[in-house]
């Protein structure tokens, strides 16, 4: 099944996702303020767009993959935004990571203009975006999900319709708690082992097959040992997500003591100039406290 897709947001995650859609034979019109990214996709078959209007006016589906709620609202609802030019009954799939409140608000505004919307944030970082094996959490209507399932199947390995609008965003917040607290716990353990002067790589091999083993452990420990903090999931983006977690939790009366501490760790890392590091760089916060560096012997 082939769709005409307008893809807006060609960053760390968006560009490989759009590339996979092109490779799968979808008609992709690409737009980003980064003209180089647009040109790179045009070179492999995308139609380049010079404006949001060009990106969406002849498409059935619009995908946005942007850094924050402000960016999504500006692009979708702002002057000369998606809502001004998208066809009636077209579907907007926002794959950014927003709060459920923002997602529901945007969906309601689009509905008034006869445009359907789903929130569909992803998990897996840049490697899974490149491989097309992302996990995708979707909030929206069943008929819209069915109409776009072929698109999700190209960019993801596991896609679940969680519920109505905002449900995908809520599931992503839960995901971010688990992933980032996992990295923080792992970091504490690695720093303890480093300070005790044992071989971290051998310790990793010893524990990865037990209950402490996880996707996070396997994804992040090798990078930390190589001191590779090239961003797949940036600290500042995860800080934004965890801030959304705390705002949402407080609004519905849910205390999150561990996550609140994690938010402060992210703020400390940002203040220390680590904002653009991968969130595996959380280990650097603990290293600074213990005056030790985790690495290979």
Catalytic residues: 172
Residue 195 structure tokens: 């300070």
Q: How far apart are CA 295 and CA 201, in angstroms?
A: 8
What are the DSSP calls for the chain, one per residue? ---EEEEE--STTHHHHHHHHHHTT-EEEEE-S-HHHHHHHHTTTPEE-SSHHHHHTT-SEEEE--SSHHHHHHHHHSTTSHHHHSPTT-EEEE-S---HHHHHHHHHHHHTTT-EEEE--EESHHHHHHHT-EEEEEES-HHHHHHHHHHHHHHEEEEEEEESTTHHHHHHHHHHHHHHHHHHHHHHHHHHHHHTT--HHHHHHHHTTSTT--HHHHHHHHHHHTT----SSBHHHHHHHHHHHHHHHHHTT---HHHHHHHHHHHHHHHTT-TTSBGGGGHHHHHHHHT------
Closest of 103, 93, 25 to residue 60, by C-alpha: 93
Which residues are registered as beta bridge partners of 123? 135
Q: How far apart are CA 241 and CA 97, in angstroms?
A: 7
Q: Are 30 and 18 in contact (CB under 8 A)?
A: yes
User: What φ, ψ does residue 2 adopt, rounded to 5°?
Assistant: -115, 135
């Amino acid at each position: 099944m082939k769709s005409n897709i307008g893809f807006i947001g060609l960053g760390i995650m968006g560009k490989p996702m759009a590339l996979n859609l092109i490779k799968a034979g979808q008609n992709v019109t690409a737009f980003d303020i980064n003209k180089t990214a647009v040109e790179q996709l045009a070179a492999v078959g995308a139609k380049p767009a010079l404006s949001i209007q060009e990106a969406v006016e002849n498409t059935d589906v619009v995908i946005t993959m942007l850094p924050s709620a402000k960016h999504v609202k500006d692009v979708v609802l702002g002057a000369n935004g998606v809502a001004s030019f998208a066809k009636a009954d077209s579907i907007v799939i926002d794959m950014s990571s927003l709060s459920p409140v923002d997602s529901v608000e945007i969906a309601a505004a689009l509905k008034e203009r006869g445009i359907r919307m789903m929130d569909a944030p992803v998990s897996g970082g840049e490697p899974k975006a490149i491989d097309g094996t992302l996990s995708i959490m979707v909030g929206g209507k069943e008929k819209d999900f069915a109409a776009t399932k072929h698109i999700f199947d190209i960019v993801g390995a596991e896609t679940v319709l969680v519920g109505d609008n905002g449900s995908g965003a809520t599931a992503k917040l839960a995901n971010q708690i688990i992933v980032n607290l996992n990295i923080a716990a792992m970091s504490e353990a690695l720093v303890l082992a480093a300070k005790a002067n044992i071989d971290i790589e051998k310790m990793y091999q010893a524990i990865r097959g037990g209950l402490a083993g996880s996707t996070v452990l396997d994804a992040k420990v090798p990078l930390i040992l190589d001191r590779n903090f090239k961003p797949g999931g940036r600290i500042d983006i995860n800080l934004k997500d965890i801030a959304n977690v705390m705002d949402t939790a407080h609004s519905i009366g849910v205390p999150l003591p561990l996550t609140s501490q994690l938010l402060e760790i992210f703020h400390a890392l940002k203040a220390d100039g680590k904002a653009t590091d991968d969130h595996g760089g959380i280990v650097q916060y603990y290293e600074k406290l213990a005056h030790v560096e985790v690495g290979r012997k």
